[in-house]
Structure 1
Amino acid sequence: MNVEEPVPSDQVKSLAVRSIEIMANGSRADFDAVVHPDAFNRESATEPPRTRGRGPDAFYATAVWLRSAFSELRFDIEDVVVEGDLAVVYTIMKGRHSGPFVVYDERGSIDQVFAPTGRVLAVNQSHWLRAADGRVVEHWATRDDLGQAVQLGWVPPTPLSLVRNALAKRAARKAAGT
């Protein structure tokens, strides 16, 4: 990473909050303004291959992936703590599961697909963001994935949900050309 200038605490806080908010509703230009060209998202291992690079393109790809699965997506910011160039943003991610939620393996192949349930979710998350040169250079998170799975009816699986997920996986693989 080629980063140099430290960012003042108040700017780190506003930058961190903005970087979370644009995941739900930001334009590609918003990502250019907030995300450093060398930025890396440590959470991209189970996301689509286009999210696994660096910079605004990869971060925007994550937003597109989330938005494709969850309509009415928003992140309610509950608290922000800043120390130096690091901010921790405690959020509640909310939305409606209206599209297939596609999970990928380490090779970038489709691993699992959860068919849309139409259910709403409210999931606790902590996002850790490092800032430099006035933009986000690193992101990682702690999420309540089990809580999300229970709220959306993925766990425990029912016979019907297993069939719906299998059909959604087949459709996603066909759309991806695999």
Structure 2
Amino acid sequence: MSNDALALATEMGKVFNDLDEEAALTYIGAEFVDHEAPPGTPGGPLGYLGTARWVHSAFEGAKWEHLDSFAEGDRAVLRLRFTGRHVGDFLGIEPTQRPVDVEQTHIYRVENGLVVEHWGYRQDLLMLSQLGAITLQAPTPAA
């Protein structure tokens, strides 16, 4: 199943990069759970597509570039580069017009030929720094 899981996970890029509703309905199971989504976010294919639309509303030119991937059993892992320009409210941060460029890791679980679960890990501190919401400082060496 590893190759099938990887192929399906890769197709998920059509949902986020292209906002492709047909891809969402084709590749995502009705019982899909996005473990990264905020509480109250709908599940299923249209819930995941809604999350993609929200990210696109906050970041003009939002794009996820495939950097690396592998699969084992019913899970596929994709390492991606996310880029865009902050033009809309993002988690309470007013638009800054600043570009963002961060890496993300996404894990998808496949069951019966459909993606049914998602976990995501992002460089959130780096993104917040790029938006000017926080300042990152190098750690002071220990004495």
Same structural fold, with TM-score higher than 0.5 when normalized by the shorter chain: yes
TM-score, structure 1 normalization: 0.71
The residue type paired with residue 38 of structure 2 is: A
**Superposed displacement of residue 9, structure 1:** 2.1
2:23 — aligned with what?
Answer: 30
- Structure (1/2) with the larger helix percentage: 1
Flag structure 1 segments of 5+ consecutive residues without an equivalent: 1-7, 104-112, 157-178
For residues 62-104 of structure 1, what are the alpha-carbon distances to aligned partners after superposition, in whole Å with 9 as ceiling and x for unaligned?
1111111011011111111100010110111111111111x3x
Q: Distance in 2 between matches of 1:135 and 1:96?
A: 32
Matched, 1:42 2:35: yes
Does the 8 Å CA contact 1:124/1:144 hold for their aligned counterparts?
Answer: yes
Flag structure 2 segments of 5+ consecutive residues without an equivalent: 136-143
Q: Percent identity?
A: 31
Distance of aligned partners of 1:43 and 1:151 in 2 relative to their CA distance in 1, 3 Å threshold: same
**Superposed displacement of residue 152, structure 1:** 1.4
1:100 — aligned with what?
Answer: 89
Q: Distance in 1 between matches of 2:52 and 2:124?
A: 17
Does the 8 Å CA contact 2:14/2:20 hold for their aligned counterparts?
Answer: no
For residues 24-66 of structure 1, what are the alpha-carbon distances to aligned partners after superposition, in whole Å with 9 as ceiling and x for unaligned?
21322221011111110001126xx4xx232112111111111
The residue type paired with residue 114 of structure 1 is: I
* 2, 17, 30: which one aligns with 1:9: 2
* 133, 138, 145: which one aligns with 2:112: 133
Runs (4+) of structure 1 exceeding 3 A deviation are none
Does the 8 Å CA contact 1:21/1:74 hold for their aligned counterparts?
Answer: no
**Superposed displacement of residue 22, structure 1:** 1.9
Query: CA-atom RMSD, angstroms?
Result: 1.4
Q: Distance in 2 between matches of 1:96 and 1:135?
A: 32
* 55, 58, 62: which one aligns with 1:66: 55
Q: Distance in 1 between matches of 2:15 and 2:99?
A: 20
TM-score, structure 2 normalization: 0.88
**Superposed displacement of residue 119, structure 1:** 1.1
Distance of aligned partners of 1:9 and 1:126 in 2 relative to their CA distance in 1, 3 Å threshold: same
